[in-house]
Amino acid sequence: MKKRLIKWGLVAALLLRLTNNTNSGILYSQKQVKQNVKLEQVVSKIEKKHHKKPEYFSRGFLQFKEGQFVQDKEIDKMIQDLSPDKEKAKTDPNHIIDGVNFYDNYCIMIDPNTHHIGDGVKKWMSVQEPEGAVYERKFTLENLKDMKNIKLGMEVFSSDSDNRVYINNKLIGFAPKMKKSQWGNLMEKYKQRTPFLYKELHVSKYLEEGENTVRIESKKSGLILRSHDDFLVRRIQMVYDKENENKINK
């Protein structure tokens, strides 16, 4: 087991060098932004090719269910071609479309950057030093009454415990997770690049007009040497629809 963990670590060090280039995307802004309706063309193509509906796109991978990924270069190119900055993306990774919500009409990007939550130094992670066992960030919502079906979305890497997520000090659920063996299999299979796992949590009843706070806590576990789960989290976002407006059919 120890040898396998070391192997995973060496592979992951190669996989995650570009993880911090996450400030890009045609769908996101600190303000409310409507998604590009051309995504309907992408979804249609994916359904015809893979015979199922996609949930998310991350780092060149399609996520169909939690933990089920397909690397699809054709769809990746199709998504990149939708970007108004596609020429810049050829030379600057910050203009590459790195994550896509396929069905939610609107998105507010709370924090696009990558954070290491936990209590251990992990040299195989792109962010080696932990920021602490708790991540917290404030964000502001305007015209809350016009928003419906509001969900908090996030991407994680190497989360394998029940890491709690709070909105305004109320527990709303857990960060996405997979077993250590599943993460290991992903890292062994994809030598150049690995996806982050995406999940959305319903939050409408927990939000307030104006300032809100999101908090993610790393779980402490272990029978003898108890330590916090160390994982990466990025692209924390609020996705929603607007009242009296049609959305892309899921």
What average pLDDT values come out for the chain (250 residues) when binned by 10 residues?
Answer: 49 41 36 55 93 91 86 92 81 82 82 93 86 95 91 95 97 95 88 86 96 96 78 93 64
* Residue 38, token pair as written in the block: 């051309």
Q: Which amino acid is at 84?
A: P
pLDDT at 126: 83
Tokens 């992990």 belong to residue: 122
The structural domains of the chain, ordered by start, are 2-242 (2.60.120.1200)
Global pTM reads: 0.82
At 138 the three-state DSSP class reads: strand
pLDDT at 75: 94
> How many angstroms separate the CA atoms of 40 and 44, rounded?
6
> How many angstroms separate the CA atoms of 12 and 32, rounded?
34
* Residue 33, token pair as written in the block: 């932004």
Inter-residue contact 239 to 107 (CB < 8 Å): yes
pLDDT at 105: 67
